[in-house]
A and B are shown apart, each in its own frame.
Chain A
Amino acid sequence: MLWLVLFFLAPVVYVAIYSVGGIKLFPMDTGVISLDDWSRFLGGGSIYLSLFWKSVRMSLTVSIAVVLLAYPVGYFLALVVRKLKYVLLLVIIVPFLTSFLLRVLAWKVMLGDRGVFNSFLVSLHVRPADDPIEWLLYSQFTVMLVLAYAWIPFVALPIFVSLDNLDRSLLEAASDLGCSRFRTFWRVTLPLSLPGLIAGFVFVFVPTIGEFVTPLLVGGTSGYMYGNAIQDLFTRGLDWQTGSVLAMFLLLVVAGLMMIFGRYVQVRSVAAD
């Protein structure tokens, strides 16, 4: 408990204080408490704010795509497969548990100008050697592809759990009452699995919005995201105060999301049921 207070709570609170200039860490820090950095960040025309919205758009796209892809998987495993349910679930989950960085690296190797995919096309004589498909790597598309790839397993899990806990007799009842399969799905199954769906959505959206590793590796300049801006402010720009403002803002957004959707995200039912 003490460990958490010392090394988790204290640092976060400290960043909040630092972001309003409450602490003088470097000679160039003003040491005066003011909301200047905050108002500059939130004010009109701030590049960071527009970058934030760009990241929100990208994360939203990824989250929706991932939920759409993961739902059939959860449905398949929970309601269609009879034997080997958990083995197949494990097959889907395992990639998620291995190194994130390595999976991004794998895509980088796959999609480069002279990478696996392009050189494969060249050796099949589908494309000439001097004309690779360039947008495969270092684009917004790549970032979203890799993020979606990385998070599908994790989203399939809560959807699976909610569908698996569904009372089958409800489905039978709907069918006995004359519902078609589609109608049963639309009126019974989908609404009942909504908590899992929302949990899955939050599970992708929250981590991807602060993502900075994937854009760095496969995003190039057009894939630059909000998280990269934060990292740059700390590692290159050395404007830690602005960086703190950006980081705190991200934390507040995430905290807000968790407050709204928290009741759907039953950590324990998903992670260690």
Chain B
Amino acid sequence: MEIATSRSGRILLTVFFWILVVFLYLPIAVLALFSFNDGDPSFPLTGITTHWYGDVLSNHVLTTALFRSTVVATVSSLIAVALGVMTSFALIRRRFLGKPIVSALVFSPLVIPYLVFGISLLLIFTLVDKVLSEAFGVYFGLGLHSVVIGHVVVALPYTILTILPLLERLSVSLDEAAKDLGASPRETFRRVTLPLLMPALISAFLVAFTLSFDEFAIASFLSGSQQTWPVYLFAQLRVPRLLPQLIAVSSVVFLGSLLLILSAEIGRRLAQRRYGAEYSRGGFAA
């Protein structure tokens, strides 16, 4: 006998599941549909066109915003992955005082409201600028650099969560073997540890990248006049004329992030198979 559900319960749950899937995907599908509609985003559909996509390419402000987001996402993910590796090593291979506090600190950006964090950074940058401009007459102002700093902080726990499980299962004896065979610590890291960690690093990078690329709350406070893509999107939503264009870019961005996520996930699976070890069981580094 099936204990979890009766037959009718099973059917009911299946139906419920697929209704929910439709509910989750319908708005996105509609968005994509209207990006090809020759007219306002409303019924009836008035014809197929790709000229919204063309308009996007000639909209300089928009492409600049996309470019900025790409830069911010790349730089902040690289830093976050580098810091993530170091922190993971420290958390797993070293013993030190106050480790629980450190690990609490590392993971707390997961739960802080981004709104609060964004204004905290805004306040401290304002203070730093005030002090600097009074003392030396220079100041940094707000811009992409401040967004990068904020995004590294919020991406860090995600990268650590992706790297940690693999690092835990990498045997220390591999490092020791390398050492016995005469490799320097640097060489060991570069030729043994790093290649073994590579799949986790790549998926950590992809997770951090998607996170940063879409992040709005922190960027809205810190980007100043250098609007990143989400900030630009948000600001332009009030202009109805631009809406079809925005929908077009959004569809592309959506597709792009979908591909990134799927490749990150597939990468994890491949790595899992390669090492045989069950280091990630259905894990989604969300």
Contacts and interface: CB of A to CB of B under 8 A. Distances in A.
Interface of A: 1, 3-5, 7-12, 14-15, 18, 23, 25, 69, 72-73, 75-77, 79-80, 85-86, 88-103, 105-110, 112, 114-116, 118-120, 122-123, 149, 152-154, 157, 171-172, 174-175, 181, 184, 189, 206-207, 209-210, 212-213, 216-217, 227, 230-231, 234, 240, 243-244, 247-248, 250-251, 254, 258, 267-268, 271-273
23 contacts: A4-B109, A11-B123, A14-B124, A14-B127, A76-B13, A90-B284, A99-B253, A99-B254, A101-B230, A105-B233, A109-B243, A114-B40, A119-B44, A122-B43, A207-B113, A213-B234, A227-B115, A234-B119, A240-B123, A247-B120, A271-B284, A272-B164, A273-B281
A118 B43 CA distance: 8
B20 interface: yes
B247 interface: yes
Contacts of B153: 3-4, 7-8
B28 A103 contact: yes
B123 A175 contact: no
A224 to B, nearest CB: 14
Contact of B152 (A3, A14, A101, A271): A3
A271 B286 contact: yes
Contacts of A227: 113, 115
Contact of A72 (B13, B126, B214): B13
B113 A99 contact: no
B116 interface: yes
Contacts of A92: 20-21, 24
B34 interface: yes
Contact of A102 (B13, B164, B254): B254
A231 B4 contact: no
Given A101-B216, A107-B27, A181-B5, A76 B123 contact: no
B107 A267 contact: yes
Contact of A11 (B117, B156, B164, B258): B117
Interface in B3-52: 3-6, 9-10, 13-14, 16-17, 20-21, 23-25, 27-28, 30-31, 34, 40-44
B21 to A, nearest CB: 6
B282 to A, nearest CB: 5
A94 B161 contact: no
Question: Which residue, of A77, A88, A212, has the highest number of chain B Cβ atoms within 10 A?
Answer: A212
Interface residues of B, number: 92
A154 B286 contact: yes
Interface of B: 1, 3-6, 9-10, 13-14, 16-17, 20-21, 23-25, 27-28, 30-31, 34, 40-44, 79, 83, 87, 90, 102, 105-117, 119-124, 126-127, 130, 149-150, 152-153, 156-158, 161-162, 164-165, 210, 213-214, 216-217, 221, 230, 233-234, 237, 243, 246-247, 250, 253-254, 257-258, 261-262, 265, 280-286
A264 to B, nearest CB: 13
Given A69-B20, A210-B116, A254-B113, A157 B30 contact: no
Nearest to A14: B124
B123 A25 contact: yes
Contact of A206 (B4, B111, B130): B111
Contacts of A108: 237
A248 B192 CA distance: 46
Question: Which residue, of B20, B115, B156, B164, has the highest number of chain A Cβ atoms within 10 A?
Answer: B115
B90 to A, nearest CB: 8
Contact of B165 (A4, A79, A154, A272): A272
B25 A273 contact: no
A90 B110 contact: no
Nearest to A116: B30
A14 to B, nearest CB: 5
Contacts of B106: 4
A181 B243 contact: no
A199 to B, nearest CB: 12
B28 A254 contact: no
Contacts of B126: 25
Contact of A247 (B17, B102, B116): B116
Given A76-B17, A273-B280, 5 more contacts: A102-B254, A149-B23, A171-B3, A189-B4, A272-B285
A109 B115 contact: no
A209 B112 CA distance: 11
Contacts of A8: 105, 108-109, 117, 153
A25 B261 contact: no
A209 to B, nearest CB: 8
Contacts of A97: 210, 257, 261, 284, 286
A206 B116 CA distance: 12
Nearest to A9: B105
A210 B118 CA distance: 12
Contacts of A116: 30, 34, 41-43
A111 B231 CA distance: 22
Given A12-B120, A93-B286, A153 B5 contact: no
B42 A119 contact: yes
Given A11-B120, A100-B214, A90 B265 contact: yes
